[in-house]
Homo-oligomer: A and B are copies of this chain.
Amino acid sequence: MYNGLQTLQTPCLLLDKITFLHNVSRMEQHLAHFNIPLRPHLKTVKSLTAASYLLANKQAGCTVSTLKEAETFAAEGYTNITYAVGITEDKLQRVLALINQGVELTILLDSMEQAMFVSRFCTEYDCQIDCLIELDCDGHRAGLTPKNKEIVTIATILDNQGLYKGLLTHAGGAYTCNTQAQLIQFAEKERLAVITAASLLEEAGLSTQVLSIGSTPTALSTQNLAGITEVRAGVYPFFDLVMAGIGVCDIEDIALTVLTRVTGVKRSENKLFIDAGWMALSRDRGTHNQTLDCGYGLVCDQHGTLIPGLSVTKTNQEHGIIECEPGFALPDLKHGDLLRILPNHACATAAQHSGYHVLSHDDIEFWPRFSGW
């Protein structure tokens, strides 16, 4: 199986296609119960080929984190894009260029200042930019708390020009969960945040078209999507050790690994050296505060089977050091042997690479990635 691995230059990124497709289908099936559309967040995959498996067609809605993503997917023919990071004024010209190409591009904001400059811009350029107001459902990041009266003021400014479209929130705090009960609670927090704000807006005579929530952990855990119009999620096609630590997937569900070769064996110190350092794995230490701290990643053999007791404990730019937990024996590996490292955070690890080597039956495809802003 996959003899082709031997021909790959290491380090490189591997994607197990069967697991990837299984993960995609799991999320789709979960949301199908609620009959609520998924708007995949393409910041994780950043690949046209990968995106084609996440989106039913090019009119299906997607989410992006940069204008570069919006432009790249628009150039491929995708027409319904939510740019889900708070807008700055200097970025509006690129937003307008996309709208003028026929893209239904929606932007995000959470302040009067932003509402004012978007409104001024639309007047000046005689254009229409659909806006979502960002809500803070868990104190995690940006956004306004759901009962903040500023929401009505902002929506009113926007609505006067037909720019107000809806509300969006993301329960980033769900990444600290480790029980199903907590996840369900965070999912409900997300839902209640947009429902609450939408009610207040309705009382003020403002109609909310889009009620958008989501993160991979909450989307997979939610038991109630009443009133919601769409769910966003990004990392679910790949999963990673952080998601396994939260409990929304098993380690076997992680579709992404970094292929590496053993570059040294220090048996006396119970250490292996590999040619994957932080440049290939990223510096992400997302499992640091979880019950199982995985260092810079757990270790699989070349077939993707976990080798118990090993983790990448240190990284330099192009060196990784694998150490053995007490009670486990260093496996009988030698110079040049292939290993696969499971990533803490798939978004960060994938971003270090120019593409995915996709393991598909006995074939290896290559799906290019892009980066930048």
Contacts of A114 in B (CB 8 A): 335
Also in contact, A90 and B12, with CB within 8 A (given A114-B335, A319-B142): no
Contacts of A66 in B (CB 8 A): 318
> CA separation between A265 and B142, bound complex, in Å?
9
- From A27-35, A183-191, A237-245, A281-289, the one touching the partner chain is A281-289
Also in contact, A85 and B348, with CB within 8 A (given A111-B264, A284-B283): no
- From A155-163, A216-224, A271-279, the one touching the partner chain is A271-279
In residues 280-322 of chain A, which contact B (Cβ within 8 Å)? 280, 282-285, 316-319, 321
Contacts of A372 in B (CB 8 A): 353-354
A8 nearest CB across to chain B (Å): 9
> CA separation between A317 and B41, bound complex, in Å?
12
Contact partner of A264 (CB less than 8 A), chosen from B43, B117, B142, B282, is B142
In residues 41-86 of chain A, which contact B (Cβ within 8 Å)? 43, 65-67, 85-86
> CA separation between A263 and B352, bound complex, in Å?
25
User: Is A125 an interface position by the 8 A CB rule?
Assistant: no
Also in contact, A335 and B264, with CB within 8 A (given A65-B318, A284-B278, A373-B11): no
In residues 88-135 of chain A, which contact B (Cβ within 8 Å)? 88-91, 94, 110-111, 113-114, 117
> CA separation between A324 and B70, bound complex, in Å?
33
User: Is A26 an interface position by the 8 A CB rule?
Assistant: no
Contact partner of A273 (CB less than 8 A), chosen from B86, B279, B280, B352, is B86
Contact B348–A88 (Cβ < 8 Å): no
Also in contact, A142 and B110, with CB within 8 A (given A273-B86, A372-B354, A373-B11): no
> CA separation between A350 and B334, bound complex, in Å?
33
Contact B283–A335 (Cβ < 8 Å): no
Contacts of A94 in B (CB 8 A): 9
User: Is A172 an interface position by the 8 A CB rule?
Assistant: yes
Contact A316–B172 (Cβ < 8 Å): yes
User: Is A371 an interface position by the 8 A CB rule?
Assistant: yes
User: Is A254 an interface position by the 8 A CB rule?
Assistant: no
Contacts of A283 in B (CB 8 A): 282-285, 348
- A-B CB contact pairs (8 Å), 16 listed: A9-B91, A9-B94, A43-B317, A66-B318, A85-B263, A86-B273, A86-B319, A87-B263, A88-B263, A110-B264, A111-B335, A113-B335, A117-B336, A141-B319, A282-B283, A283-B283
- With contacts A86-B263, A142-B263, A279-B351 known, what are 8 further pairs, Cβ within 8 A? A88-B336, A89-B335, A90-B336, A114-B335, A117-B336, A280-B373, A282-B283, A283-B283
